[in-house]
Structure 1
Amino acid sequence: MNPVNNQPYHLPVGAIWLITGCSSGIGREIAQFVATKPNQRLIATARDPSSLSYLPDNDPNILKLPLDVTSTASVSNAFKAAAAHFGETYHIDVVVNNAGYSLSGDTESATDEEAHQEIETLFFGTARVTMQAVKVMRQEKDHRGGLIFNISSLAGVCAFPGHAYYHAGKFAIEGWTESVAREMHPDWNINFCIVEPSGVKTQFEHGSKKYMEPHEAYAADDMPARKLEAWVGKGLKSGAGIEPVAIAEALFNVASRDEKVPLHLPLGSTAYKLIKSKLEKRLEDLETFKELGAIG
């Protein structure tokens, strides 16, 4: 099996960061964080670039662009605009694929449009931006290499009731990224990191959280999804969750520490505990039922 991230990553002076979904939440915090760092340059993107007004307009090291990750043309146009803006110094060093939203509710009531749009945004959007970035990173003769952060979630490893299509999108990001990372030639020095935060303290502005219509068959308080909603609600009221700026700091630390990049990066004690518990249970089941699987 082809190894991944097999040499230390060195963040260059004048590195260019391209971040999707910068209108709010994690994307906004990462963009703001990078914008304060000396010798770093930023391409901040959002479907509506007016939502990027928190960033200065007169800084040549900051480029604000419209980017709809569900549109192939929009992704291509954003990369072309970035190349035109930075000119001869253009390259892509770090990509943060953050654009997306949470779709919650009873899966039986989901429409085809809701399901398709969620996967289109979370998964195919990440895939489009990633492959455009890989093309730039591998073709640079004097500046080959880069780092791609694909924002997954605890929800990309552990599944909970009431978020089936959100889980589907995040699980897809995990498997797809692992496969693509193994396609890279070691000499290209293109690194991948699948980021798996647990609950984040965001307000889900600008449509970052959507809900399906409730289904009467799942409405009772003792239904698993309703019980989870109540538990999460109590946690949010008590102030639980990771501060978005902490995620920004963690990603910058991974990019700038001159060490090998982890393929998987769980963030937060809850993510660590629940992912560890799931993997331990799966190993236990693997041993318990190995005779059933011994068919070839």
Structure 2
Amino acid sequence: MSKVWFITGASSGFGRLTAEICLKNGDAVVATLRKPEVLDDLKAQYPATRLLVLKLDVKNAQEITDAFSRAKEVFGRLDVVLNNAGTGFVGEIESTPDHMARSVVETDFWGAANVSREAVKFFREVNKPVGGRLLTVGSFGGLTALMCAGYYAAAKHAIEGFTETLAQELDPDWNIKVTLIEPGWFATAAVTGKATVLPAHPAYTKPGLPVIAVRSALENLNDPNNKFGDAEKAAHKFYELASLSDPPLRLILDIEKYEAWSSDLL
């Protein structure tokens, strides 16, 4: 049976790739993003009965509620919510202006948290008793420290704790399955595109400081010599995950430390 997916951050990367995979496999997709015109090419390929593109900035709680309401009007149900929207930049904690720090936390934590809450409510009240699947894209930055991305790491650590707690709180009778997807380095626009880089804080420029090497690496992620995982293959894992009868709480995907484990996980 085909599924109906609700995807945030569908403009590029894992969001766009997963949307394309879903559509190619006969599923319907509610693709949400801040600039809907980015998906005009995809809209031209699929009818409105298969693809609904909605403007959504996850920092706006009302827009989240409205998007779920519109999805209900058009499709009557949602089977999978891919909580994927995110943002970040390169800069030491002390070099980060308050407004930029808050924007990352608003998107990567509060945005993801509010989408999760709406998804659970939808699955419980609209999809009863079928439930649904909530897939939240975390990061290895939510499992460990990440120099020059401190507020990103803080937001990702927060969504880790939030999502694990949410999964424990849910009534099993609702049949809602929750998974945190933990990608390592994959060739998405967020990784290989031109990063927003803040000027180095003068207190962190002493030669030999580890933060200098990390900053340099993050500033040059688009170097063609870098080895990244295939983002499309990872997106296929997202798609397969939605069909597991007993999905894991965490799906760790990384071409280095977890390569063997990830290859046969599904």
TM-score in terms of structure 1 length: 0.80
The answer on 1:56 being equivalent to 2:48 is no
Q: Which amino acid aligns with 1:15?
A: K
CA 1:71–1:141 in structure 2 vs 1: closer, same or farther (change >3 Å)?
A: closer
Residue type of the alignment partner of 1:77: D
Closer/same/farther in 2, CA of residues 110 and 141 from structure 1, 3 Å limit: closer
1:41 pairs, out of 28, 31, 35, with 28
What are structure 1's unaligned runs of at least 5 residues? 1-12, 274-296
Aligned to 2:109: 123
Q: Which residue of 2 aligns with 1:14?
A: 2
Question: Which of 210, 218, 229 in structure 1 is aligned with 2:196?
Answer: 210
| 1:247 is aligned to 2:195 | no
Structure 2 residue aligned with 1:83? 72
Q: Tell whether the 8 Å contact from 2:6 to 2:80 is kept in structure 1 after alignment.
A: yes
* Higher Cα Rg, which structure: 1
**Which residue of structure 2 aligns with residue 27 of structure 1?**
15
- Offset of residue 54 of structure 1: 3.0
Task: Tell me the residue number matched to 2:263.
Answer: none
Instruction: Write the letter of the residue equivalent to 1:245.
Output: E
- Indicate which of 54, 57, 61 corresponds to 1:65: 54
Distance 2:106 2:82 in 1: 17
RMSD of aligned residue pairs (Cα, Å): 2.1
Contact between 2:229 and 2:255, CA under 8 Å: does it hold in 1? no
State the match for 1:293 in structure 2.
none
Q: 1:267 aligns with which of 220, 237, 253?
A: 253
Aligned counterparts of 2:128 and 2:63: Cα–Cα separation in 1: 28
1:53 deviation in Å? 1.8
Q: CA deviation at 1:180?
A: 0.6
TM-aligned CA distance change 1:239 to 1:126, over 3 Å: same
In structure 2, the partner of 1:192 is 178
What's the TM-score once normalised by structure 2's chain length?
0.89
Q: Report the number of matched residues.
A: 255
Say if 1:195 and 1:266, in contact at 8 Å, map to a contact too: yes
Structure-2 separation of matches of 1:197 and 1:259? 22
Query: In structure 2, how many angstroms separate the alpha carbons of the residues matched to 1:18 and 1:114?
Result: 27
Give the Cα–Cα distance (whole angstroms) in 2 for the partners of residues 149 and 234 of structure 1. Answer: 26
Instruction: Measure, in 2, the Cα distance between the counterparts of 1:236 and 1:198.
Output: 17
| Cα displacement (A) at 1:213 | 3.2
Contact between 1:103 and 1:211, CA under 8 Å: does it hold in 2? yes
